[in-house]
């Protein structure tokens, strides 16, 4: 994926899903699911992140894949 396109997608996520944007950033940094859950829990609060981190990661990645496929001719 083109770096510019990825940056545009992340900018869109900032507006509609800041948590999703943070998940993407953490994935790109190579964070594990446990690290993602810990980070989200500390930054956004709530204990549910431990049990929902895997689901949320998949949901965000699915959204990005759909947006990318709509932009690629």
Segments in 17-48 forming alpha helices (H): 18-28, 33-44
What is the separation, in whole angstroms, between the first and last Cα of the chain? 12
pTM of the model: 0.58
Dist CA 71 CA 23 (whole Å) = 21
| Tens-digit pLDDT profile for residues 31-47 | 988 888 888 888 877 66
Instruction: Report which of 12, 9, 23 is spatially closest to residue 55, judged by C-alpha positions.
Output: 23
**What pLDDT, on a 0 to 100 scale, did the predictor assign at position 30?**
92
Residue 71 confidence (pLDDT) above 70 = no
Indicate if the pLDDT at residue 58 is higher than 70. Answer: yes
């Amino acid at each position: 994926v083109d770096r510019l396109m990825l940056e545009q997608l992340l900018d869109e996520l900032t507006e509609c899903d800041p948590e999703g944007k943070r998940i993407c950033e953490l994935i790109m940094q190579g964070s594990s699911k446990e690290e993602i859950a810990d980070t989200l829990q500390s930054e956004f609060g709530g204990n549910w992140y431990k049990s929902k981190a895997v689901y949320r990661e998949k949901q965000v990645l699915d959204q990005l894949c759909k947006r990318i496929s709509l932009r690629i001719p």
